[in-house]
Amino acid sequence: MYGYTDAHRDEGDDKRYPSDLTDAEWALIRDLFETDGPGKPPIYARRRMVDACIYAVRSGCSWRMLPKDFPPWEDVYKTFRRWTAQDKFEVMHDRLRGMWRERSQRNVEPTAGVIDSASVKTSAQGGEEKGYDAGKKVKGRKRHLLVDMAGLLLAVVIHSASIQDRDGAFPVIEAAKQKHPTLTKVYADAAYEGRNARAIEAQYGVEIQIVRRPGNRAVLPLVQPELPFIEPPRGFVLVPKRWIVERTHAWNDRPRRLAKDQDRRIDVATAWIWLVEARLLLRRLTTEPA
């Protein structure tokens, strides 16, 4: 269901890039971008504007280097910034997530999630919210995600890499609870443990359940000193629940523009995350069997 198959290796055609939306995909979101309200009709087709945004994030090119068969890059960028201010990509993702959860025979509103952050390097240009993550040895920003049990986004907060996970969890949980009051349990790693977790539980009514790695040498003897210490396994270990959000971070590393944080503005960097995850859902909804 979640693998990378031939259906995802879209070669495009003479008139369509591999990243462009198909007719079936555009039909699911067309009403979000095409409106019949008052005002001057748009000069360029909204579908080509969306395709240009997806091309930019997939290829990693700068706005000025968009292919000439797209609308002028200035118009694409202005439209992208307007859609970002209107939370268009987040609304699009929320709709598609509900459709996928319904197809998967889950409740549309989630009750449990998984939280984690990933530190990413930033480019040399100036920008907002940069810092140094001493644990990961990364200078840049943290992408703090809260996902449901299928790995689909519930909340995204991007902040300085110098902010500890336990401190950065507050705005993420708050954003998720505002949209999804049904959320009652969140799984996390040991970095979220402590007084902040108890404060989150008291303030937002969300239970924080810590999922530890097996044989954690630093923590396990302190938590259960009466049990004999077992040598931790070497190499990669699939930790229950936590792998779900780690996989989502891996999904976000596939587009070349997100392999490194290239943007000066936090709201633009956040909009890319919502767009990438929404694009993934569009492909699933139109290629995966019901």
DSSP string, 181-248: TT--EEEE-GGG-SHHHHHHHHHH--EEEE-PPTT-TTTHHHH-TTSPP-PPPPS----TTHHHHHHH
Question: Residue 116: beta bridge partners?
Answer: 145
Segments of 22-152 assigned E as strands: 112-121, 131-133, 138-148
The pLDDT tens digits for 61-113 are 999 999 999 999 999 999 999 999 999 999 999 999 999 999 999 999 999 99
The arithmetic mean of pLDDT across residues 178-189, rounded, is 95
- Cβ-contact 120, 250 below 8 angstroms: no
Cβ-based burial of 50 (10 A; exposed 0-12, middle 13-18, buried ≥19): buried
Q: Please, what's the largest Cα pairwise distance for the chain? A: 74
- Percent above pLDDT 90 for the chain: 71
Q: Round the average pLDDT of the chain to a whole number and report it.
A: 88
Lowest average pLDDT, out of 27-31, 214-218, 282-286, goes to 214-218
The arithmetic mean of pLDDT across residues 167-190, rounded, is 94
Give yes or no for residue 222 having a pLDDT over 50.
no
Give yes or no for residue 223 having a pLDDT over 80.
no
The arithmetic mean of pLDDT across residues 52-60, rounded, is 96
Handedness of CA 5, 269, 92, 240 (dihedral sign): positive
pTM: 0.87
199 or 11: whose pLDDT is higher? 199
